Amino acid sequence: MIRSLYLAACSSLIALIFLCLAWELRLAPVHPGGSWLALKCLPLLAPLFGILHGRRYSYQWASMLILLYFTEGIVRATTERGTGQWLAIAETILALIFFGASVAYARLTRPSAR
């Protein structure tokens, strides 16, 4: 169970990083040719090392960070149309997967649960 949560968190975080980059640079940028909004993926790189190494503390604080991306996905899914809307829905789904996996991982790996 812990291994599957680890894999879900790692894969959804990496997918979200690539989605953010592709979205703002290629697929549906706010401005033609890309925008500085692509830098929104930089905060996702902060917990990446800890998540990949299974550090419980990284899972705990990254679960709060990911809520910003969930919020952005909901807002952009309701305000944009076309490709941007579908990318926002994908962002929301990836954020939810990461949130659920990271909260469950942190809960199952707490010292009192062992």
Name the band, by pLDDT with cuts 50, 70 and 90, for residue 110.
Answer: confident
Name the band, by pLDDT with cuts 50, 70 and 90, for residue 25.
Answer: confident
Question: What was the pLDDT predicted at 114?
Answer: 57
Exposed / middle / buried, residue 113 (Cβ in 10 Å: 0-12, 13-18, 19+): exposed
Residue 57 has pLDDT above 80, yes or no: yes
Per-chain mean pLDDT for the chain: 92
Name the band, by pLDDT with cuts 50, 70 and 90, for residue 63.
Answer: very high
Work out the percent of the chain whose per-residue pLDDT is above 70.
98
Question: What was the pLDDT predicted at 97?
Answer: 98
d(CA 60, CA 52): 14
Average pLDDT over residues 20-26: 89
Backbone region of residue 54 per phi and psi (left: phi > 0; alpha: psi in -120 to 50; beta: other values) = left
Q: Please state the domain extents for the chain.
A: 1-109
Name the band, by pLDDT with cuts 50, 70 and 90, for residue 6.
Answer: very high
Sign of CA dihedral 36, 48, 89, 60: negative
Secondary structure letter of residue 47 according to DSSP: T
The token duo for 42 is: 């930089």
pLDDT digits (tens, 9 = 90+) for 27-52: 888 777 777 878 899 999 999 999 99
